[in-house]
Structure 1
Amino acid sequence: MTTKTITAESLIADYAADIAFVAEEEPATTLAVFNTQLATAADRLGKEWADIDGAEELPTAVTYLADAVDSTDDTERTVLVNRAATYLTDIHDLVEEYREMAG
Structure 2
Amino acid sequence: MSTTVEDLLRHAKDIAFVAEEPPARDLPSFIDQLNCAATNFNVAGISGYENLEDAAVLLTEAYETADEQERGVLLSRAEKRLTHVWDMTQEYRTML
TM-score in same-fold range (> 0.5): yes
User: Which 4+ stretches in 1 moved above 6 angstroms?
Assistant: none
Gaps of 5+ in 1: none
Aligned residue in 2 for 1:7: 4
Amino acid at match of 2:7: S
SS at 2:44's partner residue? coil
Gaps of 5+ in 2: none
The CA deviation at 1:56 is 2.4
Task: Deviation per CA, 1:2-49: give whole Å up to 9, x if none.
Answer: xx421111111x200000111111111111110110010011101xx1
RMSD: 1.0
Identity %: 44
**Residue number among 9, 17, 22 corresponding to 1:26 in the alignment:** 22
- In 1, distance between residues paired with 2:60 and 2:45? 23
Task: Give the paired residue count.
Answer: 96
TM-score normalised by length of structure 1: 0.87
SS at 1:29's partner residue? coil
Aligned residue in 2 for 1:68: 62
Whose helix fraction is larger, Structure 1's or Structure 2's? 2
